Amino acid sequence: MTKIKRGFIKIKEWMTKKYQSMKVKLKWSKLKSFVVKTIKNKKLMKSIFGKAAVYILLIIIGFIFLFPILYMISTSFKDINDLLDASVIWLPNTLYFANYQTALIVLGLPTKISEFFQMNALYQTIIVVGIPSITATLSTGLIGYGFARFDFPLKKFWLTCILIGFIVPQQVILLPQFVYFNNQLKILGTIWSYILPAATGQGLNAAVFILIFYSFFSMIPKSLDESAYIDGANEFKVFWHVGIKLSKQPIIIVFLFNFVWYWNDYYRASYFLTGSKWTTLPLKLSRFENAFGILVEQTDLQTTNLNEPLILAGTLLTVVPLLILYFVFQRFFVESIDRTGITGE
Amino acid sequence: MTKRHREWLFGYIFIGIWVIGFFIFTLYPIVQSFVFSMKSVRITTSGLEIIKNLGLQNYKDAFTYVYFLEALWNYILNTLITIPAIIVFSIIIGLLLNQKIKFRGIFRTIYFLPVIISSGPVLTKISEEGAMSIPSLDTNGFIGLLQNNLPLILADGITSLFSKIVLIMWFTGVPVIIIIAGLQKIDKAVYEAAAIDGASLWESFWKLTLPSIKPLINVIVIFSIVNISMFSSNEIMKIIDQRKLTQFGLANAFSWIYFLSTVIILLGFLGILNFNLNFLKRKKIRKLVKS
């Protein structure tokens, strides 16, 4: 016991000593002089204020960016009482999941686990969007490689044609395409109406992707393939080794952008897929009100009114797959673009 | 076969697929659209039925069509306001994000998020439900203050700018990335040299940063105008869409007018941006030298 007591006393002594020494260190005059010094140091103050201003601006702008999404999330969980209650702004009193349940049914998405393995709107969208994205990535890679690595007559002319094709608004092209896909080619309403233009480098925003590949392949030194030619490789082999194996990063980036932009391209879907068995989630969303009306007539749902939370829940559901994709591959979306030279010199 | 001819051949093998596609899926529809815009066309179950040649009648009709004219005017005004705002905001955000700051990745992720989710229906739904305007701006009487104290046209412009601020911000995703890529290519030593010569941050922004990202601003202008014009919540698109099945010829005329006005706006912006003041100065100098 005495040993323990002695130990305690020792610890106490040690602590009081420390405390006193800290007291000395924390004398107010010293602190004051420190503060005065920093304030008088103009350069330091400037940098502190500058940094603070930068952070405040970034946070404000970030809030403006996120505002619609936050609003969407918070509103989609409100029930009718919370919606009408003016005191409820951001946080609903109860998390009301019925909005999501109804929205899932209206959008044609699975509500039970057993329905997961059947074809639904989500899988359809992934197919309709994914296959053209893959073909467009391959074709634009090939075309970009051709423009970057070979010299041939009329090259400048074709490059200008790419730019012109980019500027022409979609509906100038889509209106006649809509007609002759239906009459001559007979591919309207099938997934081929997406794949064929994509495979020939005429898909959605294909010009941007061709230019990305073009500037990426232009950065690779030509001496690399010259040495390969001397070793007896032909052009296709060089394309395989330089064009594909060296350029995994731009390929992933182009694929992701293709996927996102095709997904969001409601216009094309409304032209090519209306009235067919294929659909995309944004197309479903644009007809949300109608689909809800039909659903109410056919079955008796619990909620029979089409209100703001329900629509926003539906909107959020069509966006969630893209958000997941974005957060998984965020690095590719945001950071590698400077490396592939989208800047288009 | 010489080496040069071989290169020609393989060049065309690689881009051949694009050339074919360009004729089938781009050029042919453009020409057809132009031809249809001069005709009265009906879409039937068996195919297209061309009723008669109208010449420019469709275009004349389009210009007497009030809804379309109003939509077109709104689109033009909207673009004229939005594009400069996009340029300014993307430069500001690009400069902010290019600094050495903590959580840069998170900020970049947030600022790029709209590019991922902004599709026509989603944006329409969001703005219909009122999530696109920041409420405190309306309620604080800020806009009323502007309307009372400024000339009407200016006040209208500013109020519509503020009511669309979120939408404008949401269009800056790709431009910001382009700007950042451009900023990172500028050699830091240049700034140091300028600072030693006594240039302030403000001066070095106008004299160094802006000239070196100027070509990128052109890219941004082209991209943003195309992006906005393709946007499906656009009123003109709806008008064209509604007439797709009934008045196909007129719809094509609409889309051609729309196309031409887009091109005029684009050329206007590029002209203003690349208008070279030095050119005038040089002319003056030449005159002086001659005299």
Question: H-helix or E-strand containing A92?
Answer: none
Taking the C-alpha atoms of residue A150 and residue B16, their distance in angstroms, rounded to an integer, is 13
Average pLDDT over residues A186-206: 86
**3-class secondary structure, A116:** helix
| Mean pLDDT confidence for A307-331 | 86
Res. A132 pLDDT band, cuts 50 70 90: very high
Mean pLDDT, residues B226-233 = 75
CA distance B19 to B2: 24
Contacts A330 to B, Cβ<8 Å: 109
Average pLDDT, chain A: 82
Cα(A333)–Cα(B183) distance, integer angstroms: 18
Q: How high is the ipTM of this complex?
A: 0.83
Residue-level pLDDT at A100: 84
Q: Do A61 and B111 touch (CB under 8 A)?
A: yes
Does B113 sit within 8 Å of A326, measured CB to CB? yes
**Residue of B12, B29, B216 lying closest to A343 (CB–CB):** B216
**Distance between CA atoms of residues A15 and A38, nearest Å:** 32
Chain B residues in contact with A279 by the CB 8 A cut-off are none
B111 vs A173: CB contact, 8 Å cut-off?
no
The pLDDT value recorded for residue A26 is 63
β strands within chain B, DSSP E: 39-43, 48-53
CB contact under 8 A, A143 and B101: no
Reported as half-sphere exposure (CB side, CA atoms, 13 A), residue A39 has a value of: 6
A contacts of B244 (beta carbons < 8 Å): 175, 178, 271
Q: Retrieve residue A239's tokens.
A: 């394309």
Residue B8 Cα, gap to closest chain A Cα (Å): 5
Mutation target vs A (from B108, B119, B256; most A CBs, 10 A cutoff): B119
Q: Quick one: pLDDT at residue A170?
A: 80
- The pLDDT score that the predictor gives to residue A131 is 93
CA distances from B253 to A114, A139, A166, B247 (A): 50, 32, 20, 10
Q: Which of B11, B19, B240 sits opposite A150 (nearest CB)?
A: B11
3-state secondary structure of B53: strand
Contact A153, B5 (CB under 8 A): no
pLDDT in tens, A229-248: 888 888 888 888 877 888 88
Tell me the percentage of chain B whose pLDDT exceeds 70. 84
What's the residue count for chain A? 345
**pLDDT band for position A344 (50/70/90)?**
very low
- Residues 6 or more apart whose Cβ sits within 8 Å of residue A81: A93
Question: A146 and B14: CB-CB below 8 Å?
Answer: yes
Structural contact between residues A62 and B129, judged by C-beta atoms closer than 8 angstroms: no
- pLDDT of residue A77 exceeding 90: no
Give the whole-angstrom CA distance, residue B237 versus residue B254: 9
Question: For position A44, what pLDDT does the model report?
Answer: 78
Residues B79 and A47: beta-carbon distance below 8 Å: no
For chain B, the maximum distance between any two Cα atoms, rounded to a whole number of angstroms, is 77
Task: Tell me what the mean pLDDT of segment B80-106 comes to.
Answer: 87
DSSP codes of every residue in A203-217? STTHHHHHHHHHHHH
- CA pseudo-torsion sign B58, B61, B67, B69: positive
Q: Are A298 and A214 within 8 A, CB to CB?
A: no
Residue B48 has its nearest CB partner, among A165, A183, A311, at A183
SS3 content of chain B, % helix, strand, coil (to 5): 80, 5, 20
